[in-house]
A and B are shown apart, each in its own frame.
Chain A
């Protein structure tokens, strides 16, 4: 747990939450993906959302980013009831998301993907044109900050490696996430250097007062940056723990759906 000491964790307890999700349910036909999940996020904290495959983590953050409308439950954004009609509403409210499936268009260039939906414009003769030059510059700059040197802003996203693609998605969300940054398994395809870059970026935006929702299957990554940990299991919360209140082993057991990993761990020589 060497990363542990690198970040100073903000104590955000006395602050009001930016977003409060109360008893959120989401049904897909007969499938109950979320059976009443409550969650809140304060400015300047990193709230980790953990849990087994199929626990409902992605579904939950999609209700937060306007992709899904909850079947039941309420969302309060800055203390006001909020109904996101579509992702565009959430984005204009300052919520940016890196989805598990990235939301990138392979045939489009990196810079066009980066600004998709939020294109910078420049007025020429009263008409708003897409400011490609500015878009290219910002894209190259943001990607460089994330530790990736792009060949050029015109490169099609389809030709990037999986990790490079993920980095573009993260850089984009960091750039547009004015209030809330949601990261759904952002480090799943990343190399060591890029992963520590992402963790450092989370720490940086947190210190600027942005609330971060971080989904990961990696306990070490979660513990490295997380301030609070909420564990989902089969569409329900198993509970929320503050940093320091829970040991890595307990957290790991919770993440596996509350089952003891000890047995498995024994047989694999403690490598899980």
Chain B
């Protein structure tokens, strides 16, 4: 096919050879790739000795990036389908709290608490989507309502039931639970022990864990991030449903007239976003062993920023899951890098604002190139 496309180009005298640079420019991932290189160069140059690039340090920013990635993929597919979900952060808090209430307060088995929470949260996502497609209201408003509704319940429920806003003790009840370990466990321990024994990564020198590697396995959170990214990327670029996602966000009316089930696509994307938020929440609850009413605050905006850095258009119909994942990586590396470098953490927000503005301007420019507006 590459050949015949090539010959088609050759046969048309009205086409200037598109320069490889320009061709690269119109990839949605461009911003994410440039940003990733820039960020790593910066920290390698200025914070190499800060411990950021030791095994422990790398694991630290990888975990933070993976958290961003999980919610960014959901937000990315939803944004390409032409909608936003501002309730992601509240959903994270809500999902974590429900797991805690089910498993600790009600003493359900943890696997059941997790499954019921997933069902509940994905249904709430469906309700979000249903209201948006039925009323034709902007998803911005509908999900803003859910931002408050869910956060309200996340504070109200534990206060009424337990008279506190943090429910702990999840690690004890999750001990040995098969589903809990899918979210809170680690894999590859043997490999890291081997690395440690062979001196490839540092080992603890003192204390009860002396001799053990400083990084003892890959958290399941990272596995979830990888699985969700690959799933999202393949779904978007390689399947017919992916084409429907682009079409629904590009022009819902045109897509509908061409036979794309736009409503179904949008509702499913709201459900997927809720699913991602719940994965995030479950991993977090298993890691901390507790659920707090303020968990997930502002996460919806961080997810959207990662997606925009990744090249997606706020207006829908264009974007990339890999780009969003890179956006999340930039996010995680900068946030933790500034911490390692001992920079005042409030500067992170300055950085966020600046990079968001830059990304949006770049994306608008790219869109003009693609659609030939100029």
Enumerate chain A interface residues (CB-CB to B < 8 A): 65, 67, 86-88, 91-92, 97, 99, 101-108, 112, 115-119, 121, 128-130, 132-133, 136-137, 140, 149-154, 156, 158-159
Q: Could you tell me the distance between the alpha carbons of A154 and B246 in the complex, rounded to whole angstroms?
A: 14
Partner pick for B373 among A128, A140, A158, CB 8 A cutoff: A158
**Is there an interface contact between A152 and B239, defined as CB atoms closer than 8 Å?**
no
Partner pick for B254 among A105, A128, A129, A140, CB 8 A cutoff: A105
Partner pick for B246 among A65, A104, A112, A132, CB 8 A cutoff: A112
A-B contacts, 23 listed (Cβ < 8 Å): A88-B259, A92-B259, A102-B254, A103-B255, A104-B254, A105-B247, A105-B317, A106-B251, A107-B313, A108-B247, A108-B250, A112-B243, A112-B246, A116-B243, A117-B244, A117-B255, A150-B8, A154-B5, A156-B372, A158-B371, A158-B372, A159-B370, A159-B371
- Cβ distance B69 to chain A, nearest Cβ, rounded Å: 23
Partner pick for B8 among A108, A128, A151, CB 8 A cutoff: A151
Contacts A105-B247, A149-B11 hold; do A130 and B240 have CB atoms under 8 A apart?
yes
**Is there an interface contact between B367 and A107, defined as CB atoms closer than 8 Å?**
yes
Given the complex, which residues of A lie within 8 Å of B253, measured CB to CB?
103
Given the complex, which residues of B lie within 8 Å of A154, measured CB to CB?
5
- Cβ distance A134 to chain B, nearest Cβ, rounded Å: 9
Is B258 an interface residue, CB under 8 A from the partner? yes
User: Would you list which residues of chain B between 336 and 374 have a CB under 8 Å from chain A?
Assistant: 367, 370-373
**Is there an interface contact between B250 and A105, defined as CB atoms closer than 8 Å?**
yes
Given the complex, which residues of A lie within 8 Å of B21, measured CB to CB?
none
**Is there an interface contact between A116 and B260, defined as CB atoms closer than 8 Å?**
yes
Partner pick for A128 among B240, B258, B318, CB 8 A cutoff: B240
Contacts A105-B317, A107-B371, A118-B259 hold; do A140 and B243 have CB atoms under 8 A apart?
no
Contacts A117-B247, A136-B1 hold; do A87 and B12 have CB atoms under 8 A apart?
no
**Is there an interface contact between B4 and A106, defined as CB atoms closer than 8 Å?**
no
Q: Could you tell me the distance between the alpha carbons of A159 and B253 in the complex, rounded to whole angstroms?
A: 20
Size range of the interface on B? 35 or more
Partner pick for A117 among B251, B259, B371, B373, CB 8 A cutoff: B259
**Is there an interface contact between B250 and A128, defined as CB atoms closer than 8 Å?**
no
**Is there an interface contact between B258 and A116, defined as CB atoms closer than 8 Å?**
yes
Is B164 an interface residue, CB under 8 A from the partner? no
Given the complex, which residues of A lie within 8 Å of B296, measured CB to CB?
none
- Cβ distance A168 to chain B, nearest Cβ, rounded Å: 12
- Cβ distance A107 to chain B, nearest Cβ, rounded Å: 5
Q: Which 4 A-B pairs have the closest CB atoms?
A: A158-B371, A117-B259, A119-B240, A105-B250
Is B242 an interface residue, CB under 8 A from the partner? yes
Partner pick for B317 among A101, A103, A107, A132, CB 8 A cutoff: A107
Contacts A97-B257, A103-B258, A133-B1 hold; do A115 and B243 have CB atoms under 8 A apart?
yes
Given contact pairs A103-B255, A159-B372, enumerate 12 new A-B contacts (beta carbons under 8 Å).
Answer: A88-B260, A88-B261, A103-B251, A103-B253, A103-B258, A116-B259, A117-B255, A129-B239, A136-B5, A137-B4, A154-B5, A156-B371
Given the complex, which residues of B lie within 8 Å of A108, measured CB to CB?
243, 246-247, 250, 317
Partner pick for A106 among B5, B250, B260, CB 8 A cutoff: B250
- Interface code B207-239, partner A: CB below 8 Å = 1, 0 otherwise? 000000000000000000000000000000011
Contacts A87-B259, A140-B4 hold; do A130 and B243 have CB atoms under 8 A apart?
yes
Is B200 an interface residue, CB under 8 A from the partner? no
Q: Could you tell me the distance between the alpha carbons of A131 and B241 in the complex, rounded to whole angstroms?
A: 12
**Is there an interface contact between B1 and A119, defined as CB atoms closer than 8 Å?**
no
Contacts A87-B259, A103-B258, A106-B371 hold; do A149 and B12 have CB atoms under 8 A apart?
yes
Report the nearest B residue to A156, measured CB to CB: B370
Is B9 an interface residue, CB under 8 A from the partner? yes
Given the complex, which residues of B lie within 8 Å of A88, measured CB to CB?
259-261
Q: Could you tell me the distance between the alpha carbons of A105 and B255 in the complex, rounded to whole angstroms?
A: 8
Given the complex, which residues of B lie within 8 Å of A118, measured CB to CB?
259
Report the nearest A residue to B253, measured CB to CB: A103
Report the nearest B residue to A169, measured CB to CB: B258
Q: Could you tell me the distance between the alpha carbons of A101 and B258 in the complex, rounded to whole angstroms?
A: 12
Is B137 an interface residue, CB under 8 A from the partner? no
Given the complex, which residues of B lie within 8 Å of A105, measured CB to CB?
246-247, 250-251, 254-255, 317
**Is there an interface contact between B258 and A107, defined as CB atoms closer than 8 Å?**
no
